Amino acid sequence: MSNLLLGFQDVLTIATLSWVAFGVILGYVLGALPGLGKATGVSVAIPLTFYLQPAAALGMLIGIAKGSAAGSAVSAILLNTPGEPSSAPTALDGYPLARQGKAQKALKMGLFASVIGDFLSTLVLIGLAAPLARYALLIGPVELCAILLFSLTFIGGLSGQSMTKGLIAGALGVFFATVGLETETFIPRFTFDMLELDDGIKLVPMAIGMLAVAEMVVQAGNLKALDSDGGRIKDSMERADRVILAAEWKRCIPAILRGTFIGSVVGILPGLGASVGSFLSYGAAMKASKTPEKFGTGMIEGVAAAESADNAVVPSSLIPLFALGIPGSVIAAILIAAFILHGLTPGPLMFQQQPRLVADVYAAMLCASVILLVVGYTGQRIFALVIKAPLRLIIPGVLLLCTIGAYMETSSAFSIYIMLAFTLLGFFARKLDFSFVTFLIGFVIGPNLELSFRQTLQLLDHKAVNLVHHPIALVFILLSIVTVWWIGRGHRPRADSGNQSPAATPDHAVRDLTHNHKGG
Q: Does 51 bind other proteins (CB under 8 A)?
A: yes
Q: Smallest Cα–Cα separation from 38: which of 46, 291, 230?
A: 46
Question: Is the distance from CB of 44 to CB of 81 less than 8 angstroms?
Answer: no
User: Interface mask (CB under 8 A) for other proteins, residues 458-477, using x and -?
Assistant: x-------------------
Residue 194, classed as helix, strand or coil, is: coil
Question: Is the distance from CB of 40 to CB of 330 less than 8 angstroms?
Answer: no
Query: Nearest 5°: CA angle at 154, between 149 and 160?
Result: 130
Stretch of 6-14, 200-208, 216-224, 257-265 contacting other proteins, by CB under 8 A: 216-224
Question: Is the distance from CB of 309 to CB of 266 less than 8 angstroms?
Answer: yes
Instruction: For other proteins, give the closer residue by CB, 386 or 401.
Output: 401
DSSP structure class, residue 180: E
d(CA 450, CA 179): 12
**Max intra-chain CA distance, the chain:** 75
Question: Is the distance from CB of 273 to CB of 159 less than 8 angstroms?
Answer: yes
Residue 194: phi, psi to the nearest 5? -100, 120
Q: Smallest Cα–Cα separation from 118: which of 181, 83, 71, 168?
A: 71
Count of residues binding other proteins (CB under 8 A)? 61
Q: Does 195 bind other proteins (CB under 8 A)?
A: no
Which listed residue (339, 427, 443, 476) binds other proteins by CB under 8 A?
427
Instruction: For other proteins, give the closer residue by CB, 15 or 382.
Output: 15
Which listed residue (3, 6, 8, 52) binds other proteins by CB under 8 A?
52
Query: Nearest 5°: CA angle at 327, between 69 and 446?
Result: 140
- Smallest distance, other proteins to C-beta of residue 35, A: 13
CA-atom Rg of the chain in angstroms: 22
Which listed residue (3, 4, 50, 128) binds other proteins by CB under 8 A?
50
User: Interface mask (CB under 8 A) for other proteins, residues 356-395, using x and -?
Assistant: -----------------------------------xxx-x
Stretch of 281-289, 312-320, 366-374, 451-459 contacting other proteins, by CB under 8 A: 451-459
Which listed residue (253, 370, 408, 459) binds other proteins by CB under 8 A?
408
Which DSSP helix (H) or strand (E) runs through 121? helix 103-136
- Smallest distance, other proteins to C-beta of residue 171, A: 4
Which listed residue (222, 352, 353, 501) binds other proteins by CB under 8 A?
222
**Interactions with other proteins, residue window 247-286 (CB under 8 A):** none
Which listed residue (66, 105, 108, 165) binds other proteins by CB under 8 A?
165
DSSP assignment of 267-311: HHSTT-HHHHHHHHHHHHHHHH-S-GGGTTS--HHHHHHHHHHHH
d(CA 75, CA 106): 12
DSSP assignment of 6-48: HHHHHH-SHHHHHHHHHHHHHHHHHHHSTT--HHHHHHHHGGG
Instruction: For other proteins, give the closer residue by CB, 367 or 395.
Output: 395
d(CA 250, CA 252): 6
Q: Does 293 bind other proteins (CB under 8 A)?
A: no
- Smallest distance, other proteins to C-beta of residue 459, A: 12
Question: Is the distance from CB of 92 to CB of 283 less than 8 angstroms?
Answer: no
Which listed residue (12, 13, 134, 221) binds other proteins by CB under 8 A?
221
Instruction: For other proteins, give the closer residue by CB, 8 or 50.
Output: 50
Which listed residue (11, 74, 103, 168) binds other proteins by CB under 8 A?
168
Instruction: For other proteins, give the closer residue by CB, 66 or 430.
Output: 430
Stretch of 80-88, 107-115, 124-132, 410-418 contacting other proteins, by CB under 8 A: 410-418
Q: Does 517 bind other proteins (CB under 8 A)?
A: no
User: Interface mask (CB under 8 A) for other proteins, residues 134-163, using x and -?
Assistant: ----------------------------x-
The β-bridge relationship of strands 180-181 and 188-189 is antiparallel
d(CA 42, CA 38): 6
d(CA 43, CA 58): 12
Q: Does 484 bind other proteins (CB under 8 A)?
A: no
Q: Does 99 bind other proteins (CB under 8 A)?
A: no
Q: Beta-carbon neighbour count of residue 386 at 10 Å?
A: 17
**Interactions with other proteins, residue window 9-48 (CB under 8 A):** 48
Instruction: For other proteins, give the closer residue by CB, 17 or 116.
Output: 17
Question: Is the distance from CB of 160 to CB of 497 less than 8 angstroms?
Answer: yes
Instruction: For other proteins, give the closer residue by CB, 125 or 441.
Output: 441
**Residues interacting with other proteins, by CB under 8 A?**
48, 50-52, 162, 164-165, 167-168, 171-172, 174-175, 178, 182, 184-185, 187-192, 216-218, 220-224, 391-393, 395-397, 399-401, 403-404, 407-408, 411, 413, 416, 420, 424, 427-428, 431-434, 449-450, 453-454, 457-458
